[in-house]
Chains A and B, each alone.
Chain A
Amino acid sequence: MIPSSSHGTPGGQGAPARGLRIASEARDAFIVLSPEGDIDLMGSPALRTEITKAQQTGKDLVIDLSKVPYMDSSGLATLVGAMQAARRTRKQITLCGLTDRVRSIFSIARLENVFRIVPTLDDATKPA
Chain B
Amino acid sequence: MNNGEPIQPGAAPAPQLKLQVLSNPLFLSGVRELVYQLAVRLGFPDEACGQLSLAVDEAICNVIRHGYQRAHDRPIWISFFADGGVADPEHPAVSPTSALRIVIEDEAKQVDLASIRSRNLEEIRPGGLGVHIIKEVMDEVRYEHRHPAGMRLTMLKRRLPDAPLSPHTPSPGRLSSAGGTP
Q: Do the two chains belong together in a single complex?
A: yes
Q: Interface of A with B (CB < 8 Å)?
A: 8, 38, 40-42, 69-70, 72-74, 76-78, 80-81, 84, 99-101, 103-105, 107-111, 114
Cβ contacts under 8 Å, A110 to chain B: 121
Which residue in chain B gives the minimum CB-CB distance to A110?
B121
Cross-chain contact A73 with B176 (CB below 8 angstroms)? no
Cα of A99 to Cα of B177 in the assembled complex, Å: 7
Contact B29 A38 (CB under 8 A): yes
For B129, list chain A residues within 8 Å (CB): 73, 76-77, 109
- With a cutoff of 8 Å between Cβ atoms, the chain B residues found around residue A101 in the complex are 50, 176-180
* Residues in B whose Cβ lies below 8 Å from that of A38: 29, 176
Provide the residues of chain B in CB contact with A8, threshold 8 Å: 26
Give complex CA distance A38, B136 in Å: 21
Residues of B within 8 A of A76 (CB): 126, 129
The residue of chain A having its C-beta at the shortest distance from the C-beta of B130 within the complex is A73
A107 vs B121: C-alpha distance when bound (angstroms): 11
In the complex, are the beta carbons of B64 and A41 less than 8 A apart? yes
Chain B at the A interface: mostly helix, strand, loop or mixed? helix
A78 proximity list for chain B (CB < 8 A): 126
Complex Cα gap A81–B58 (Å): 19
Q: A81-B126, A108-B133, A108-B136 are in contact. List 8 more A-B contacts (CB 8 A).
A: A38-B176, A69-B173, A73-B133, A78-B126, A84-B126, A99-B179, A101-B176, A103-B181
Which chain B residue has the least Cβ–Cβ distance from A8?
B26
Judge whether B126 and A107 touch: CB under 8 Å. Answer: no
**Residue interface bits B140-182, CB-to-A below 8 A is 1, else 0:** 0000000000000000000000000000000001011111111
Nearest 10 CB-CB pairs, A to B? A69-B176, A100-B179, A77-B126, A42-B25, A73-B129, A41-B25, A69-B177, A70-B176, A81-B126, A80-B126
Q: Determine the chain A residues whose CB is within 8 A of the CB of B130 once the complex forms.
A: 72-73
Is B41 part of the contact surface with A, judged by Cβ < 8 Å?
A: no
Question: What are some 26 contacts across the A-B interface (CB < 8 A)?
Answer: A8-B26, A40-B28, A40-B61, A41-B25, A41-B28, A42-B25, A69-B176, A72-B57, A73-B130, A77-B126, A77-B127, A77-B129, A78-B126, A80-B124, A80-B126, A84-B125, A84-B126, A99-B177, A101-B50, A101-B176, A101-B177, A101-B180, A104-B180, A105-B133, A107-B182, A114-B124
